[in-house]
């Protein structure tokens, strides 16, 4: 059912090594779709050690992510595992998105980051979780039950024994939505808009994005 909220809220995570197209396309499409969208930076050092990061953020609430192709993106806020449920949990947002990019995905799927725990909390509260590309590794570290899922082919072997792996571009399994990579991020993001905001909102925002004729989404 589409959200009854006038402005559903989306949390899009980012880390060093996140694939910039997957992050930006999703963030932009969600904003077009009427979401109040927030990006949160997950620090690699903190995620892997559980300790204070060695490098300084821009400020207490801002940090710069260096993405997989070198693009630098300033996140809206900094994600911390301690207190994540209160600040970033399903009571605050309607949607959690985990982009790929192998290095970034490893950070976001590390249990010490607090993200896998958050994934379970969102799904337990019947909120949507989207995973892109290698970001689907978070489904494994979150120990989600066996269900349909897709990812970038590079991490297929890590997932196919635990999930019903699919080669489809976008896979919907209850409130878990997964996709394969940068090229499938547009239909993935539009699917999230439709699931939460309804078909009419998807139809409204797609034409101004000027997809080529016969684009399948």
18 in Cβ contact with 41 (< 8 Å) = no
Show the tokens assigned to 187. 């239909």
Q: Which of 19, 20, 22, 121 is catalytic?
A: 22
172 in Cβ contact with 149 (< 8 Å) = no
Q: Is 133 a catalytic residue?
A: yes
Q: Is 54 a catalytic residue?
A: no
Q: 39-57 burial, b for 16+ CB within 10 Å, e for fewer?
A: bbbbbbebbeeeeeeeeee
Q: Which of 133, 143, 167, 194 is catalytic?
A: 133
67 in Cβ contact with 73 (< 8 Å) = yes
Q: Which helix (H) or strand (E) holds 128?
A: strand 128-132
Q: Which of 152, 160, 167, 194 is catalytic?
A: 152
Catalytically annotated residues = 22, 133, 152
């Amino acid at each position: 059912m589409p959200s009854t909220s006038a402005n559903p809220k989306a949390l899009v995570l980012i880390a060093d090594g996140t694939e910039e197209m997957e992050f930006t396309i999703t963030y932009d499409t969600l904003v077009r779709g009427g979401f109040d969208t927030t990006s949160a930076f997950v620090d690699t050092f903190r995620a892997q050690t559980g300790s204070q990061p060695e490098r300084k953020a821009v400020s207490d609430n801002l940090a710069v992510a260096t993405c997989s192709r070198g693009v630098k993106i300033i996140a809206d806020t900094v994600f911390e595992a301690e207190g994540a449920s209160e600040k970033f949990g399903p009571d605050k947002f309607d949607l959690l998105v985990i982009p790929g990019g192998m290095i970034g995905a490893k950070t976001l799927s590390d249990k010490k980051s607090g993200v896998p725990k958050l994934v379970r909390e969102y799904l337990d509260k019947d909120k949507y979780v989207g995973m892109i590309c290698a970001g689907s590794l978070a489904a494994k570290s979150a120990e989600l039950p066996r269900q349909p899922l897709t990812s970038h082919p590079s991490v297929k072997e890590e997932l196919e024994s635990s999930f019903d792996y699919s080669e489809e571009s976008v896979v919907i399994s209850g409130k878990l939505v997964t996709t394969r990579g940068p090229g499938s991020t547009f239909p993935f993001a539009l699917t999230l808009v439709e699931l939460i905001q309804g078909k009419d909102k998807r139809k409204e925002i797609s034409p101004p994005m000027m997809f080529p004729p016969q684009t399948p989404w």
